Amino acid sequence: MTTHRQTQDTSATPEANDKLVGLCRKLDEAIALLAGAREFAKPGKLPRVLDTARRVLLQEGGAAAVEQRAQALEEAGVFLGSDWETPQYLVPSLTTQALQSPDPNMVVIEALSELRILAVAKGGYFHPLLSEEQAHHYLTQVMALNLWLLFGAPTEAERETQGRLAQIPRHLFHHLAERIGYEHVIDRLIAEIWRILQQRPIQVDAIKQMITQIAICQANPEIDLGTSGQGADRLVSSLFGPTHACREDPGIETYRERLSSMDNGALQYEATGFARAMHDTSLVSPYHAVLLRHLLDHGDHLLAEALGLSSTGRDCLLCYRELVHALIRGAAYPATPQAVYGLALMLERGILYQPPVAPAMWRQLGLTLSDWCEARLNLAYGDSASPRARLLEGVLCMLGLPLGVGQGNNPTCQSARALSMWAYNDPDYLLQMVAWAARDDEIIMHFEGMPLSSMASLSGVAKELPMDLDPVSLIVVPHLDRIYAEMGRRCIGREGDPHRWVNPEFHGWWSGRGFRINVDVATGQLEDLDDFLRHFYASYHPYYNGNQPLIHPQPAGIAVTDSAARFIGWHAITLLRVTLDPSDTMRLYFYNPNNDSGQDWGDGIKVSTAGNGERFGESSLPFEQFASRLYIFHYDPLERGELAKVTQEELDRVIGYVHRSWGADRIPPTGLQADEGPGKAP
């Protein structure tokens, strides 16, 4: 395959080639010195290798030169003692963060690792830990997740944090694309987009950008996609031409003119086409917002068609007609099209029938935003839509997709979980929080009867103000984060884990006051694991709790592990429901505020997000697999469960999962778990 980039590379100037040859000679010398050093002395030789490799990678053709030296680099010890030493466990989604790092060594070591895996994939390096097939699959995932590096120039943020270093990932990915082939990248990218969209996230801007890049690839005669990319048509058309009247992406003004000349039959056809595309993909075309505003003057029947509503949604629209019209006028613009999907799903949920919600939505429509709030929204999203419309779009999406809230690249899983839980279970409370944060720049919550102000609290878990969030989270999370941290500070000196007291006060009265933890806070060792698991089964498993369904979502904490079952950290999730899946396996369905919930936790535990009875936004695992990653849960101490009925065989399977993963180095010195018998029922 010949590309424009290849043509450029082969026509490099003699001076550039001479410079690259000279740098490669220096790199070979640095590799030889590293290879010859004893293990304790290698760290002293490594900086020279990384610095020289950085200079090589900045040159045209530098990536190819490093690929030829990939085996020598690894055997010399470049990856020794680092996460990159075991390439079979590397996670593709983490490459983006590494390649955007302001640390030159981080960027270079990641680039060296990708080129090492490329050498394996192309058969130039037989690796003892990685097969050609594994290497090829890993690289196609990495390429799919970082496709923007192939087409986009460095952003302002990249230029500020990385400077000239930002060119290395671009040189790297152009080389990878030429060696692997664009056709593999596109197919993998399409599959990845559909997998993410099945989870119905609120934030879809990055996905829309990727679909735009696919459309550019399809239109570029210099990129030969072969037979790949066939499944992209539905994605591309959902954004740029869902219906006959906008099939060729004519532009907003032209489409408005076409609508003005349509009769009711043609409008019905348009409405149905847009609704089908929206509910199929969860993506909304800017043309859809134009149609919806046009239909305000053409009857509620066509509005309901354009929103794709069932009988529940239609009834809600007719009952709250004026409010729905006001929401469309206030939020549905070509720059904020996802408001259409949020509105449709909110009507389908029927939450406007809860007495406080409709008045709270009217308040939201007329809310005066603070200067700080407007500045934050403009900074994060630009000024193509007003801050009020942007926030209203976010509110509609959160109420329509309560399980689509993501925490971004921030340690704020507690706050994201709270927003999701309120949108799911207590929407008028969420709307109150939004009003306080957006209008007053302050939220006041109570902890054991004492008021806590978000402005008076010192600091939160996040060190910096998060920016990569949906509009509601962008405004509310900084306040919640500070209050959550302050509640934790109020628990200093108490024995045990502070979540025992913080979670019910922070999340809501429905959080169970009973509390169990299987880790000793002081030592980090496993404690009473058998008893902990019996209580969990008796509280949540239908076979042991009298077949009592979970009524309110409950906060819980898990020990997250990587694909090698190694401990990563503690994480906040929400227990949603427990039931038999379509194959009659008892599964626990939960909400994970992580931006992508489809994760491999190692030891055969792979979190499912679709295909096992999940509703949009839910994650799920077989009950015993989930129990093996649980370390904290709440329960109602007045509900009766049967601890003694849980079989030891089932518990031993769960304990085996724990001991083979995050609990491997937490087993008490005796090697025995404390077992105090069945105890009292929770």
Note the pLDDT tens digit of each residue in 184-214.
677 777 887 888 899 999 999 878 877 887 8
- Answer with the residue of higher pLDDT: 642 or 46: 46
Q: Give 227's pLDDT tier (boundaries 50, 70, 90).
A: low
Which whole number is the average pLDDT over 556-585?
92
Find out whether 499 and 515 touch, Cβ atoms under 8 Å: yes
Lowest-confidence segment of 181-195, 229-243, 592-606 by average pLDDT = 181-195
User: Residue 59 in contact with residue 26, Cβ under 8 Å?
Assistant: no
Q: Please, which pLDDT band fits residue 9 given cuts at 50, 70 and 90?
A: very low
d(CA 395, CA 175): 42
More confident residue, 563 or 678: 563
Looking at residue 633, what is its pLDDT?
97
Please determine, for residue 94, whether its predicted confidence score (pLDDT) is greater than 80. Answer: yes
pLDDT of residue 97: 85
Residues 356-369 pLDDT 10s: 999 999 999 999 99
Q: What is the Cα–Cα distance from 313 to 81, expressed in whole angstroms?
A: 57
What is the predicted pLDDT for the residue at 281? 95
Q: Does the pLDDT of residue 158 top 80, yes or no?
A: no
Q: Give the pLDDT score at 10.
A: 38
- Of the chain, the percentage scoring pLDDT greater than 70 comes to 91
pLDDT at 13: 62
Q: What is the DSSP letter of 131?
A: -
- Least confident segment among 20-29, 89-98, 153-162, 642-651: 153-162
Rounded (5°) CA angle 327-332-337: 140
Instruction: Look at strands 514-517 and 630-635 and give their pairing.
Output: antiparallel
Distance of alpha carbon 303 from alpha carbon 329, whole angstroms: 13
CB 202 within 8 A of CB 404: yes
The predicted-structure confidence for 291-342, as pLDDT tens digits, reads as follows 999 999 998 999 999 999 999 999 999 999 999 999 999 999 999 999 999 9
What does the pLDDT read at residue 336?
97
Banded pLDDT at 105 (limits 50, 70, 90): very high
Kindly report the backbone phi and psi dihedral angles of residue 69, in degrees, each rounded to the nearest multiple of 5, phi listed first: -105, 10
Across 200-347, where does the E strand assignment appear?
none
**pLDDT recorded at residue 347:** 98
More confident of the two residues 410 and 386:
386
In contact, 336 and 289? CB cutoff 8 Å: yes
Residue ranges covered by each domain of the chain: 4-180, 251-347, 354-490, 514-659
Res 204: pLDDT: 92
When the pLDDT of each residue in the chain is averaged and rounded to a whole number, the result is 89
